[in-house]
Structure 1
Amino acid sequence: MHIDRKRYSRQILFSPIGEAGQARLARSRVAIVGLGALGTALANHMVRSGVGTVRLLDRDFVEESNLQRQMLYDERDAREGLPKAVAAERKLRAINSSVRLEAHVTDITWRNAEELLTGVDLILDGTDNFDTRYLINDVSIKHRIPWIYGGIVGSRGMTFTVRPGATPCLRCIFPEAPEPGSAETCDTAGVIGPIVHMITAHQAAEALKLLVGDTEALDRRLHHYELWPYHHAALRVKENPRCAACALHRYDFLDPENKEPRAVSLCGRNTIQITPAKPARLNLERLARRLSPLGQVERTPFLLRFSADEHRLVIFPDGRILVQGTEDPGVARSLVSKYVGS
């Protein structure tokens, strides 16, 4: 395998990586779930480091409020309302054309998680919700693929590296997701850019250690950073012998029994995402014609926007719909039923 020694010269000079490690990076495959603040910084690190294949997974599109902290996007992306996976792929391809990029505009659910998160050497967490993280954790344990958790809010963040069979997993640390409304989110507490890079620097460094095979250098602790005022804690976590995932091998979040449409509040957006219970393929052209007498319709190659009164529906071809202007799942479902159908 040819290695571009000029491009990666400073990384090759770093002895824990060297030429052998750089060759391993070039053979590696990484999936990044979520291309918001954490995910864009992680993708930037992986692509610039020369990881051979990077799979980009995100359900959302670029908005102006993203630009404060999501490093791969610009004002044009926001004006055009590009899906984040598409915008990120374009930027990353210009950064390193030798990396293979796989962009997927999709939501990770129990239906597609195993398809999208397997066939890789590592999964990186750039999400903003525990539902998706538990899906990642189940796939990780079931298929023995390491993953690196990261979460931020306000000026603080946490990160932990999960290696199936060698470390505790996410459900050892958080057996259940926090109750809705019980914890701060970026919707209630905001988020500043520096904490993004504090957490992703740790995640990316752990990722490089894993991918080059330097497992002795990996950190087994859960790290918590607070930047305002500064505080750092590194906590040792013990395996839970009764953990549903890594001890009992019960993959609750991959269980297809839950077939109800999902209504998820998106962090900081005053938006509810409705995901269909069954796979769907919407004809956006036909839908645009039907909705145009009822309100303002905007069609792009990737989605359809429909505005009526104080609400806006952002409709994707896979049947996902973002209902903007409400945090009430009942109101969101009602609007989807009214304008799109149940």
Structure 2
Amino acid sequence: MERYSRQMLFMPIGEEGQRKITEKRVLIIGCGALGSANAENLARAGIGQMVLVDRDYVEWSNLQRQQLYTEADVENQIPKAVAAKARLHEINSEVEIGAYVMDADAITLQPLLRGIDLVMDATDNFDTRFMLNDLLQKASIPWIFGSCVGSTGMSYTIFPNESPCLRCLLDAIPVNGATCDSAGIISSAVQMVAAHQTTEALKILVEDQAALRTSLLSFDLWNNQYHTMKVERAKKQTCPSCGENPSYPSLNYQCRTKSEVLCGRNTVQIRATQAPDFQILKKRLKRMGAVKANDFLISVEYESYRLVFFQDGRTLIHGTNSIEKAKSIYYQLAG
């Protein structure tokens, strides 16, 4: 236990807390900036088992903030979950790590939840987060929400049947749909969110629930702003995800964002459950490529792809037959 001696000297953890940490199992959804930072923190802290899920591979633009990866990972196009597992084993070979290169949805995640004590949100879109919200409410597994863009970030800890869920929260608090691809990001914003997420995770792992932060935390490092907001009153008895009669809408097929490959067109169609605000979307897309728009649609040239957004919530991603790649591009631009 010498490697954890300084952590054990911290009284809220101690020897008993360290023993509990080494017995716990954490699932991390997304191995990008937040995922890699949290994974490294928990590996160094001595987590017993870690399960990593990510659908993407390492690219050059990741290296500025995604701390587990190297130039060799980019050159060899190593999937993030695989590269993260290899690096984490070098950091702490005692940690048991499972790595899954796949899209995280209600079906693929179901078997991975067995025996999980905590889920860390490191995703890049709210479709996945709402699915996680419903899935983990139903399974009664706590999870820690985190997001960051530009110099801003947010974090909130969700305990099923106790705290307001993500759906309750976002009904009360509007969230900017900007992404790292549209607004950029500085690495210190990632580290700040990860610091709060990892600290909340350690409280849960050592079973010190009384120490958990019950407020929503948000900050803007560049503009020297830091806020915590009490959100207990946001919890609704009528919430379809955590209320008295939950229906878990994001687990229903009708409520999911749907994707399909259009035969012979090298195009994927994505149908969102809610169409984006066209004025906001048009303004955001102008930063990213050549935009054309009329009363019915907005199109943008982005890298080697062309995206066409329709008023009814459909989007065509021209230039790929990969649903996974199309969804990744869609979330980068649509927020």
Aligned equivalents of 1:193, 1:260: Cα separation in 2: 30
Aligned equivalents of 1:335, 1:150: Cα separation in 2: 30
Deviation at 1:262, TM superposition (A): 2.4
Query: Which of 16, 36, 54 matches 1:40?
Result: 36
Q: Deviations over 1:242-300 (max 9, x none)?
A: 2110103211111234687427xxxxxxxx9879xxxxxxxxxxxxxxxxxxxxxxxxx
Report what 1:297 is aligned to: none
Aligned equivalents of 2:173, 2:320: Cα separation in 1: 28
Structure 2 unaligned spans of 5+: 261-266, 271-302, 310-314, 323-335
Q: Compared with structure 1, are the counterparts of its residues 261 and 166 closer, same or farther at alpha carbon in structure 2 (3 Å cutoff)?
A: closer
Query: Any residues of structure 2 matched to 1:89-168 within 5 Å, and which?
Result: 89-168=85-164
Report what 1:252 is aligned to: 249
Report what 1:283 is aligned to: none
Q: Deviations over 1:65-85 (max 9, x none)?
A: 000000000100011111000
Q: Compared with structure 1, are the counterparts of its residues 143 and 324 closer, same or farther at alpha carbon in structure 2 (3 Å cutoff)?
A: farther
Report what 2:305 is aligned to: 325
TM-score under structure 2 length normalisation: 0.77
Q: Does 1:212 align with 2:209?
A: no
Counterpart of 2:189, as a letter, is I
Aligned equivalents of 2:46, 2:241: Cα separation in 1: 32
Q: Compared with structure 1, are the counterparts of its residues 335 and 208 closer, same or farther at alpha carbon in structure 2 (3 Å cutoff)?
A: closer
Aligned equivalents of 1:218, 1:54: Cα separation in 2: 22
- Contact 1:118–1:143 (CA<8 Å) still a contact in 2? no
Counterpart of 2:321, as a letter, is V
Counterpart of 1:197, as a letter, is Q
- Contact 2:24–2:48 (CA<8 Å) still a contact in 1? yes
Aligned equivalents of 1:97, 1:166: Cα separation in 2: 36
Aligned equivalents of 1:177, 1:231: Cα separation in 2: 17
**Structure 1 runs (4+) greater than 6 angstroms displaced:** 176-179, 272-275
Aligned equivalents of 2:115, 2:320: Cα separation in 1: 38
Q: Compared with structure 1, are the counterparts of its residues 258 and 216 closer, same or farther at alpha carbon in structure 2 (3 Å cutoff)?
A: closer
Query: Which of 236, 239, 246 matches 1:240?
Result: 236
Q: Does 1:23 align with 2:19?
A: yes
- Contact 1:224–1:234 (CA<8 Å) still a contact in 2? yes
Aligned equivalents of 2:226, 2:168: Cα separation in 1: 21
Residue aligned with 1:16, SS: coil
- Contact 1:110–1:256 (CA<8 Å) still a contact in 2? no
Query: Which of 313, 321, 326 matches 1:336?
Result: 321
Query: Which of 33, 47, 52 matches 1:51?
Result: 47
Deviation at 1:38, TM superposition (A): 0.4
Counterpart of 1:332, as a letter, is I
Q: Compared with structure 1, are the counterparts of its residues 201 and 80 closer, same or farther at alpha carbon in structure 2 (3 Å cutoff)?
A: same
Aligned equivalents of 2:93, 2:182: Cα separation in 1: 39
Residue aligned with 1:69, SS: coil
Residue aligned with 1:332, SS: strand
- Contact 1:222–1:236 (CA<8 Å) still a contact in 2? yes
CA-atom RMSD, angstroms? Answer: 2.5
Aligned equivalents of 1:178, 1:61: Cα separation in 2: 31
- Contact 1:151–1:159 (CA<8 Å) still a contact in 2? yes
Deviation at 1:122, TM superposition (A): 0.2
Counterpart of 1:43, as a letter, is A
Q: Deviations over 1:13-49 (max 9, x none)?
A: 1111111111101110000000111000000011110
Report what 2:223 is aligned to: 229
Report what 1:282 is aligned to: none
Aligned equivalents of 2:248, 2:172: Cα separation in 1: 13
Aligned equivalents of 1:71, 1:128: Cα separation in 2: 17
Q: Compared with structure 1, are the counterparts of its residues 242 and 147 closer, same or farther at alpha carbon in structure 2 (3 Å cutoff)?
A: same
Q: Compared with structure 1, are the counterparts of its residues 111 and 258 closer, same or farther at alpha carbon in structure 2 (3 Å cutoff)?
A: farther
Residue aligned with 1:229, SS: coil
- Contact 2:268–2:316 (CA<8 Å) still a contact in 1? no
Deviation at 1:326, TM superposition (A): 3.4
- Contact 1:159–1:199 (CA<8 Å) still a contact in 2? yes
Deviation at 1:116, TM superposition (A): 2.7
TM-score under structure 1 length normalisation: 0.75
Counterpart of 2:247, as a letter, is R
